[in-house]
Structure 1
Amino acid sequence: MAQLTDQVVDQIAQLDAARKLVLGDAAFYPQIVNGILPIIGAHSRLELRRWGAEFLAETFASPVLAIAQKELLAPSVLQTVREILELPEADAAVLQSLVQTATSLYPLVFRHIVNHPEDGQAWETMNAIKQDILRKMDSFQCPIKVCCVKFLQRVVQVQTPGLISDPRRPEQNETSLAIVPRTHAVLSIPNLEAESSGLLDRLLDVFQEETSDPLLVNATLNCLTPLIRTRQSIANKIVNAVLDFYPARHVRPPLTPTVRVSVKSMERTSRALIVNILKKNPNHPLAGRMQVYIERLMQSKLEMTDDASRKRGLPNEPIDGLDSAKRARLDAMTPPLLKIPPLPPGPTSYDRLFTLTQDAGLSSFDVKQLPPDLVVKIAVPLLAQVNPSLLTQAVDAVRTRYQTVTKEQTRQRQQQQQAAVADEDDDYEPEYQPMDVAENVAEETNAVAAEVADIEADFVSLGPFILPQPPPLSETEAGEVGRSAVARVFGMLNVAETSPAPAKGKSQQQLGFARLAGSTFDRDAWVVLLARLATRAPAGLEGGGPSGKGATISDSIRETLYRYILEDFRARLSIGISWLNEEWYNDRVQMKSAVTQRADAEEESEPTLPLHYDTWVIRLLDGLLPYLDSRDIKVLARFLSEIPEVTIPIIQRVASLAKDPERVNLCIQSLLYLILFRLPAREMSLNALEDLYRTYEEARPAAGKVLAKWRPQATEPPAAATNGAPPAPEMQSGAASG
């Protein structure tokens, strides 16, 4: 017998190792499942069947294992589940896990039969499992009944027509009766619909019984939500059944505290279900009845609370708490008194704190030697037979002991602190002390502290606990913290972007560079905060070396801003313009500061000062231009007009639009806008137009019209230019700069 027990223990240890393997890598599930089926079958030991049933329920409910893999594994485990269910001995743990497994297997096997009608044996086995569960359901214990409720809900959901989201992709549609062909060789649609209707009635019968189990009622209510949401054909029937259910009717007096809690839980679950339906569909046909039902549940709750708050009547018989004289007159039995021994001297451990018996053998017995299931079997009947008076006296005794120990430890700690302070005041000697005295004192103090810590490890520790100071952050950790802070600020930017806009007619003051970044909580405030974190915060840190943290965080903010703007550049163009203005302003301030410092220090070598505006304006423009079409003249014109400085590289990027014949007009109009309204960029734009006029044939008509007004000599043919003289200097320089 001992050898068999050791063998079972070894097998369970090996199975636990296999479970850890599949939890680490889901690819091993098919191999492990097929390998353990002969070990956990109907002829194996009860411990192995428990482990196997729990593992199968865990496998087919795991979100890590793909649905396709589960569908392939489902037919292979059906026979094992059926054989264990048909055993005459009924273990609660095994049955509960098997019902959960069958709940997960049913839609998988149903879809497998729809796609493989030749595998009729799998469907027969699944039907046998279903019939066995339905036949034994009423005789099961309450935890197993709750699992059976979920099984009924899954069968009804599968055998009821659902919505077809995409007829061309049947493998992606929900498993329901709608995916079954009309002429299926195994599945009969009328029979399945009739069975699902009967099972739904059986599921809803819990609302019509005279006395209902609160656990089953709550489990049923929780399972009805997916049916109401996904199965419109039976949704109204379910809602009507719930609206006819009033928990207060299904209890019998007297209303004990347990019954009150049960009624309250059923009312709360019912109300939550109806409120959720109304939130999803405020225009529901039964919305009026639902409102009446919710109000009635609230009224029932108030009535129950009012009854509970009324004054109690006179007791019919003596209760605990009467004095001895009153008990003598009423012939009431005085509750026995529990003799509480005093605490033994010395440190108080947890076992001494809770030991109330004087029996040395009983107090020295180690309960850890007993297996947990045996402790549960012993403890539950004993707790049911405990005298309430004795239990109250024992709890009060332990509480009194704990308070006494706490006060004593606090008093001793205060005395030690006062004695230490007195010693410091009285024993102060301003004489020379050798250097090794402090080290010896520190070593002795550490040794005493270590001994005290070892002694008090197993005893009640009631002193204050102070967390140690965190270690300093490394550069990598500081960078991670900075990036997480930037991500949170961008999250606030997304929240502010979706907030409602201010009402029309309210004047808003436009603040400039002197604005406070946190003056408001709108999107503009967060944009200014991010831009200044990227530009002004690391000012003066970027030239200190390549490992500067400020430069790293600022570059991360700039990169995130760049990607954020390009995600929806038409709506977020103002963010990009505000950011580039901050970059340009910061570059100019840094340049001015560098010139001042160089003049004060009288240095001849110029320090390297990183400038960011030219880099990021070109990069942002390169990201925008590929997505612009001929209708985006307002977007490009706004960008070119509101950035603080237009440079030659920017003009070259705009001129490159002429390479696309469809965007030639966009290019010419943008350059014309710069010529008309940005005087510093006029010459650069005219040079670019002149170069386009000479290079691209498609741009010549539109560019010629502009040049005829601003540079007429550029449109003249070479032969007509001053009797064969060379071209004008402006044309040459314009072509070169363009």
Structure 2
Amino acid sequence: MAAPTLSVEQQIQQLDDARKLVLGDVTYYQPIIQGILPIIGPSARVELRRWGAEFLAETFAAPRVPAQQKETLSLIVLETLKVMIENPQEDPAVVKSIVQTAASVYPLVFRWIINNSYDGPTWERMLAIKSRIFRIWDSAASGVRICCIKFAQRVVLVQTAGPDADPRRGDPMEVSLNMVPQNHPLLAPRNLEAEASGLLDRMLGVFQESTRYSDAILIDATLNTLSILIRARPHIANRILNVILNFNPLKQANSPMTPKLRVMVKSMEKTTRLLLMHINKRYADYVLPDPSNADKYSDPQNPLAGRIQQYVERMMRSRNEIFDEASRKRGPPEPTDGLDAAKRQKLAAPVPSATPRFHVPPLKPGPCTVAELFTVTTDEGLKAFDVSVLTQDLVVKIGITILQKLDADTLNQAVEGVRQRYKSLAAAQPEELDPATAPLGVDEDDDDYEPDYFNAEDTEQILNKLDNAPPPEEPKIKVPDVALQHFTLPPPPPLTPDQAVQIGQGTVTRVFGVMQTLEEPAKKIKSGMNRLAASAYDRDAWITIITRLATRASAGLEEPATPVKIESNGADSSSLSNTIRESLYLYVIEDFRKRIDIAVAWLCEEWYNDKVQMKLGEDAVLHYEKWVLKVLDGIVPYLDARDKVLTRFLSEIPGLSLDVLTRVKGLCRDPAMVNLALTSLLYLVMMRPPVREIALDAVEDIWSTYEDAKPIAAKYLTKWRPGFAERLKSKDDEEEEKKGNGIAA
């Protein structure tokens, strides 16, 4: 029996369920895409093709999907993309999503072909898709043309040479023409670069053809794609900027200004201005071939930066002149009441009140609520609105906005109306006696009281009453007031070690949060190790407190209890002191160039603490060596060849060991860092005589290990180690003698 055929709505519902599945777990993308490709093919209903094209565009644009998985998926969907886009009767929405997908797929396929030159059919499919997109670029709908511009931008990025990749800053998945070998059988670098140059000219042509000024959408779309090209390809940045600076978005403002044209001109002008202002702000990162020399190019007198600034100012002046001209020509507005304020005195006309009288209706008779007392509007719709459905933040924003725009006279009239309501409400209430001042047991008829007169009782009657009276009660003993006993709260339950660690970490976090809010103090004269920790409420005071909490609070300076040892990574990692040290380390590494003084101050405290511990006895845990190496390992990967932070750090920390100098020698593995490492070691040789010999040993080790460092290292060793020149000369003579013996043999 054949399975029942599902309707289009039911199929789309199942496809939506599949989309929810892959959004939760990206590992399902490959089986689901392989399963839906037959469903969304060219013969499917247009609703299914639209869903499928949109899903593919969403898949390859999703940042959660790994690049390697996207590369595999691109090979699977390439044939479907080719068949769908080559259909001349295809739906525009489908074509738009297919072009978006192709823009995301092109770098992935290009990378695949670079590494797999045997796969010619895949590259032919990609070329067919690219050719079809370029053919429909000028004739398709505006939405499709915008996607074609994005595809052309990706092609230009891939088929042009990028800057030298820096593994510390660059994108590991970036694709450029530099990756293509010269003898590749499918990719010819010269042809690809020429095609990219022609595509860039085609993109920039929208600014040079006056017939395209009318389509502001394409111009805005092109401007939005050029920012990435300027940033990622500095060698074509000036070419793009020259075209933009010759573009006048206000050119068509001279023609009769219709509402549509007004919006288009404003949009093009704003997009162009914002792009240039952003480029001018990030000039060193976008345009310069070497951003490390940004300080040299940040001068406003730079020709390109000055030209951009002049262009932006000229556009802003022209925009104000064009769009504000109508309001300036009309002049000041005429008075709405027919009388000018200057003529009222002559005409003796009554001057109307600046603010109309605000009428607050009186309350209805009978009891009322607080809301009715303060409701001054007469609009029944506003009265019925429930304000409690609004959030507190929205109510505050609405209230502040109303109070800013509300006239003071109107507010005073409303307050006076509520005051009159309150007075009328108080007058209608019956007067009540104050229980604190009213007389007790007094009635209004007391004034009419007249006593009755009776005959007095004789002696016999009095004695009879006494005989029949009950026995007298014993007098009650008055108990003196007893003072309350001393009350003591029960002691709190003892803290577990985990709770104590959590509380300590929370305290450390709050202390560092306070330090983040403090400004850096001006230069002061420090008192060295004997300065007061809390002499001022500034950053230095908090740093001193924190470092001494880490080094002295639980250091055990008076009662050493453990054998002498160097602290390791696993030694008492949960203690409060190590928690503070770890937080200090993270705080320094977060911005080590500005906070290197904090690192030095902290390590000086650690060194001082270690020395005191060793002086008091043999039982101590030493921390200085571990943390100085950890700080050095944290800053070394991010050093630049022109940084002076390393030299300052090595010169100011109190102790230098062979492990520290080993880290410095390791910098020479990068040829760009050789000069920095040797300069830092030379500074130690010149300014720190106690470590001169081990520093020279490190320089000599660099000379013997790294070929790129030999000229500079030999120069330093010749100056500071006189015997090195003779040893070097004898070594050269031996090598020449060996070469001569080899030639003779």
After TM superposition, the score normalised by the length of structure 1 is 0.52
> Using the alignment, how far apart are the partners of 2:146 and 2:24 within structure 1?
31
Work out the CA distance in 2 between the residues paired with 1:623 and 1:273: 45
Structure 2 CA distance for aligned equivalents of residues 429 and 306 of structure 1: 76
C-alpha change, 1:95 and 1:475, in structure 2 (3 Å) is farther
Contact 2:75 2:122 in 1 (8 A): yes
Which of 283, 287, 309 pairs up with 1:294?
309
Cα distance change of structure 1 residues 34 and 478 upon mapping to structure 2, 3 Å threshold? farther
Change (3 A) 1:579 1:479: same
Summarize the alignment of residues 195-344 of structure 1 with structure 2, pairs less than 5 Å apart: 195-210=195-210, 211-212=212-213, 213-249=215-251, 251-255=253-257, 257-258=262-263, 259-277=265-283, 280=286, 281=288, 287-310=302-325, 312=327
Aligned equivalents of 1:520, 1:346: Cα separation in 2: 53
Structure 1 Cα separation of the partners of residues 218 and 500 of structure 2: 57
Q: What amino acid is aligned across from residue 513 of structure 2 in structure 1?
A: R
Match of 1:527 among 539, 544, 555: 544
- TM-fit CA distance, 1:108: 0.8
Amino acid at match of 1:488: G
Q: Which amino acid aligns with 2:248?
A: Y
Structure 1, 91-100 or 121-130: larger mean CA deviation:
91-100
CA contact 1:53–1:94 (8 Å) conserved in 2: yes
1:205 to partner: Cα distance: 0.3
Q: What residue is the counterpart of 1:620 in the other structure?
A: 623
Q: What is the CA distance between 1:483 and its match in structure 2?
A: 5.4
Q: Offset at 1:311?
A: 6.1
Distance 1:251 1:423 in 2: 71
Q: Aligned partners of 1:278, 1:634: CA distance in 2, in Å?
A: 32
Using the TM superposition, give the Cα deviation of residue 247 of structure 1 relative to its aligned residue in structure 2, in angstroms. Answer: 2.1
Distance, in Å, in 1 between the alignment partners of 2:527 and 2:430 is: 65
User: 1:113-152 maps to which residues of 2 (within 5 A)?
Assistant: 113-152=113-152
Aligned residue runs from structure 1 range 522-671, under 5 A: 522=540, 525-529=542-546, 531=548, 554=576, 557-560=579-582, 572=599, 574-578=601-605, 618-621=621-624, 623=626
- Partner of 1:516 in structure 2? 534
Aligned residue for 1:59, secondary structure, equals helix
Deviations along 1:660-688, one digit per CA (max 9) or x if unpaired, are: xxxxxxxxx99xxxxxxxxxxxxxxxxxx
1:560 alignment partner AA: E
Cα distance, 1:476–1:563 mapped onto 2, change above 3 Å: closer
Describe the superposition over 1:293-347 as per-residue Cα deviations: whole angstroms up to 9, x where unpaired.
42133023124324544564888xxxxx999xxxxxxxxxxxxxxxxxx977997
Return closer, same or farther for 1:571/1:265 CA change in 2, 3 Å cut-off. closer
Q: Which residue number corresponds to residue 672 of structure 2?
A: none
- Cα distance change on mapping 1:85 and 1:289 into 2, 3 Å: same
Q: State the Cα distance separating 1:52 from its structure 2 match.
A: 1.6
Query: CA distance change for structure 1 residues 347 and 483 in 2, over 3 Å: closer, same or farther?
Result: same
Structure 1 residue 171 displacement after superposition? 12
Counterpart contact for 2:549–2:577, Cα < 8 Å: no
Q: Does 1:178 align with 2:178?
A: yes
Counterpart of 2:313 in structure 1: which amino acid? M
For the 8 Å contact 1:85–1:132, the answer to whether it is kept is yes
Instruction: Determine if contact 1:21/1:28 at 8 Å carries over to the other structure.
Output: yes
Question: What do the CA deviations read for 1:593-647 (whole angstroms, capped 9, x no partner)?
Answer: xxxxxxxxxxxxxxxxxxxx9999625257369999xxx99967799xxxxxxxx
Per-residue Cα deviation, 1:684-703 (whole angstroms, up to 9, x for no partner): xxxxxxxxxxxxxxxxxxxx
Partner of 1:41: 41
In 1, Cα distance between the equivalents of 2:133 and 2:600?
A: 63
- Decide whether the 8 Å contact of 2:547 with 2:605 is kept in 1: no
Contact 1:41 1:80 in 2 (8 A): yes
CA contact (8 A) 1:99 1:151 kept: yes
Aligned pair count?
472
CA contact (8 A) 2:550 2:577 kept: no
* Residue in structure 2 matched with residue 105 of structure 1 by the alignment: 105
Q: Residues 530, 214 of structure 1: CA spacing in aligned structure 2 closer, same or farther, 3 A cutoff?
A: farther
Task: Indicate if the aligned counterparts of 1:107 and 1:158 stay in contact, CA closer than 8 A.
Answer: yes
Q: In structure 2, do the counterparts of structure 1 residues 577 and 206 end up closer, same or farther at CA, with 3 Å as the change threshold?
A: same
Q: Deviation string for 1:406-439 (max 9, x for gaps)?
A: x99x999998999799989959999xxxxxxxxx
Q: Percent identity?
A: 32
* Separation in 2, partners of 1:626, 1:314: 73
Check 1:636–1:15 CA distance in 2 against 1; reply closer, same or farther (3 A cut): same
Cα distance in 2, alignment partners of residues 346 and 293 from structure 1: 52
Aligned to 1:139, what secondary structure does the other structure show? coil
Shift of 1:138: 1.9
Contact 2:227-2:275 at 8 Å conserved across structures? no
Q: Which residue identity is paired with 1:138?
A: D
Q: In the alignment, is the contact (CA less than 8 A) between 2:100 and 2:151 conserved in 1?
A: yes
- Give the conservation status (yes or no) of the 8 Å contact 1:204–1:241: yes
Residue 646 (structure 1) aligns with = none
Q: Tell me the distance in 2 between the aligned counterparts of 1:59 and 1:476.
A: 45
- 1:327 equivalent in structure 2: none
Q: For residues 227-253 of structure 1, what are the alpha-carbon distances to aligned partners after superposition, in whole Å with 9 as ceiling and x for unaligned?
A: 233334433322322232232235442
- Structure 1 pair 141–556 and aligned structure 2 pair: CA distance change class (3 A): farther
* Contact 2:153–2:225 (Cα < 8 Å) also in 1: yes
Distance 1:638 1:492, change over 3 A: farther
Query: 2-side partners of 1:92 and 1:298: how far apart?
Result: 41
Q: Give 3-state SS (helix, strand or coil) of 2:160's partner.
A: coil
Bigger proportion of residues as helix: 1
Q: 1:322 to 1:88 in 2, by over 3 A?
A: farther
CA distance 1:417–1:143, change in 2 (3 Å): farther
**Which whole-Å CA distance do the structure 2 matches of 1:314 and 1:624 have between them?**
73
Change (3 A) 1:133 1:307: closer
Following superposition, the deviation at residue 152 of structure 1 comes to 0.6
Q: Is the contact made by 1:534 and 1:558 (CA closer than 8 Å) also made in structure 2?
A: no
Out of 381, 384, 401, the residue aligned to residue 348 of structure 1 is 384
Q: Quick one: distance in 2 between partners of 1:120 and 1:145?
A: 29
Gaps of 5+ in 1: 316-320, 324-341, 351-406, 431-473, 538-551, 588-612, 640-668, 671-738
CA displacement 1:193-213 (0-9 Å, x = unmatched):
332222111011011021423
The 3 A distance-change label for structure 1 pair 307 and 516 is same
- Whichever residue aligns with residue 558 of structure 1, its letter is I
Q: Which moved more, 1:249-258 or 1:124-133?
A: 249-258
Instruction: Sort the Cα spacing of 1:147 and 1:620 in 2 relative to 1 into closer, same or farther, 3 A.
Output: same
Superposition CA RMSD, Å: 5.7
- Say if 2:600 and 2:652, in contact at 8 Å, map to a contact too: no
Letter in 1 for 2:147: C
Contact (CA 8 Å) 2:220, 2:268: kept in 1 or not?
no
Cα deviation for residue 68 of structure 1 reads 1.5
Flag the 1:29–1:525 CA change in 2: closer, same or farther, 3 A. Answer: same
Gaps of 5+ in 2: 289-293, 331-335, 339-377, 387-412, 437-498, 555-573, 633-649, 658-689, 692-745
> Compared with structure 1, are the counterparts of its residues 533 and 8 closer, same or farther at alpha carbon in structure 2 (3 Å cutoff)?
farther
**Pair 1:8–1:426, CA change in 2 (3 A):** farther
Contact 1:489–1:530 (8 Å) recurs in 2: no
Alignment map for 1:333-412 (pairs within 5 Å): 348=384
